[in-house]
Chains A and B, each alone.
Chain A
Amino acid sequence: KNQVEQSPQSLIILEGKNCTLQCNYTVSPFSNLRWYKQDTGRGPVSLTIMTFSENTKSNGRYTATLDADTKQSSLHITASQLSDSASYICVVSDGNAGNMLTFGGGTRLMVKP
């Protein structure tokens, strides 16, 4: 069964600090991995996407890494801002016809002033 596990479930950091969120997956076949940001009361929005051959991708202060051998990914947030407070969801696509998504449970990040 395809699964995506994220850790930690929740995290509180002070504004300006860095943090790293983790994602482990068992999805086969593998097509790509995305990190989504979901603000409270909104739908998820894609931050980064990585395919099998990519091991790092940046989007501003967000940097995602992928180790396809160990089936692990991380999302590093640099110099956190209050607006980074949200849930971050790791999502893995399979390579089948529907390119279906398997969602992690998310990490709820709170950035405090």
Chain B
Amino acid sequence: DAGVIQSPRHEVTEMGQEVTLRCKPISGHDYLFWYRQTMMRGLELLIYFNNNVPIDDSGMPEDRFSAKMPNASFSTLKIQPSEPRDSAVYFCASSGAGANGRSDEQFFGPGTRLTVL
């Protein structure tokens, strides 16, 4: 398996523009997570899905952020409009379900480095 795939790897955009980040989880994984990482705040969970359904989006900073998972093999994180403070590395992770049905070990993608000018 190729692991979690994210695109693009780098994105530079101007303030006000729409940004769409993409993620392909590991095949067969039931859980998908979106994280944001900055030097100041470390890794923060934004939202996670179970079987394509959003379960907890309490980490989404504001209405400018939205995430979708139309099928088991694809998810997007959209920022509209983008602001300079959104500059960060965005990670997607996926996991299978353990014996108790809960999320098992999370495998992270390589991340998308977003710079908003």
Give A59 to B98 CA distance when docked, in angstroms. Answer: 22
B14 close to A (CB within 8 Å): no
Interface majority SS (helix, strand, loop, mixed), chain A: loop
Q: Are A44 and B108 in contact (CB under 8 A)?
A: yes
- Of B44, B106, B111, the contact of A42 (CB 8 Å cutoff): B111
Q: Mark A23-53, 1 if CB is under 8 A from B, else 0.
A: 0000000010010000001111110010000
User: From residue A44, how far is it (CB to closest CB) to chain B in Å?
Assistant: 5
Q: Is A99 in contact with B103, judged by CB distance below 8 angstroms?
A: yes
Q: What does the 1/0 interface line of A73-113 toward B look like (CB < 8 Å)?
A: 00000000000000001000000011111011110000000
Report the Cα distance A67→B104, complex, angstroms: 22
Residue of B nearest to A95 (CB): B102
* A interface footprint on B74-115 (CB within 8 Å = 1, 0 otherwise): 000000000000000001010000100011111011110000
Give the chain A neighbours of B104 by CB distance below 8 A: 99
Distance in Å: Cβ of B53 to nearest Cβ of chain A: 12
Tell me the complex Cα distance, A7–B91, Å.
Answer: 24
State the CA gap A65–B101 with chains docked (Å). Answer: 27
B103 is contacted by which of A42, A44, A49, A98 (Cβ under 8 Å)?
A98
Q: Does B105 lie within 8 Å of A98, measured CB to CB?
A: no
B18 contacts A by Cβ under 8 Å = no
A9 to B102, CA, bound (A): 31
Please measure, in the bound complex, the distance between the C-alpha atom of A52 and the C-alpha atom of B55, giving whole angstroms: 26
27 A-B pairs (CB sep. < 8 Å): A34-B105, A41-B110, A42-B110, A43-B4, A43-B91, A43-B109, A43-B110, A43-B111, A44-B91, A44-B108, A45-B108, A49-B105, A89-B42, A97-B102, A98-B55, A98-B56, A98-B102, A99-B98, A99-B103, A100-B45, A100-B56, A101-B45, A101-B106, A103-B42, A103-B43, A103-B44, A106-B42
